[in-house]
Chain A
Amino acid sequence: LAKTTQPISMDSYEGQEVNITCSHNNIATNDYITWYQQFPSQGPRFIIQGYKTKVTNEVASLFIPADRKSSTLSLPRVSLSDTAVYYCLVGDSGFQKLVFGTGTRLLVSP
Chain B
Amino acid sequence: GAVVSQHPSWVICKSGTSVKIECRSLDFQATTMFWYRQFPKQSLMLMATSNEGSKATYEQGVEKDKFLINHASLTLSTLTVTSAHPEDSSFYICSARPTSPPYEQYFGPGTRLTVT
Contact = CB atoms under 8 A, between A and B. Distances in A.
Interface of B: 4, 32, 34, 36, 43-46, 49, 91, 93-95, 97, 103-110, 112
A44 B103 contact: no
A102 B41 CA distance: 9
A98 B106 CA distance: 11
A101 B104 contact: no
A45 B45 contact: no
A87 interface: yes
Interface centre among B43, B45, B108, B110 (most CB of A within 10 A): B43
Nearest to A95: B105
Contact of A94 (B91, B94, B103, B109): B103
Q: How large is the interface on A (under 10, 10 to 19, 20 to 34, 35 or more residues)?
A: 10 to 19
B104 A46 contact: yes
Given A41-B110, A46-B104, A97 B46 contact: yes
A100 B97 contact: no
B104 A42 contact: no
A20 to B, nearest CB: 15
B104 A43 contact: no
A41 B46 contact: no
Contacts of B49: 97
A98 B46 contact: yes
Nearest to A42: B109
Nearest to B42: A102
A97 B109 CA distance: 19
Interface string A67-102: 000000000000000000001000001111111111
Among all A-B residue pairs, the 6 with the closest Cβ atoms: A43-B107, A100-B44, A95-B105, A94-B103, A100-B43, A43-B93
B111 to A, nearest CB: 10
A50 interface: no
Nearest to B2: A46
A44 B107 contact: yes
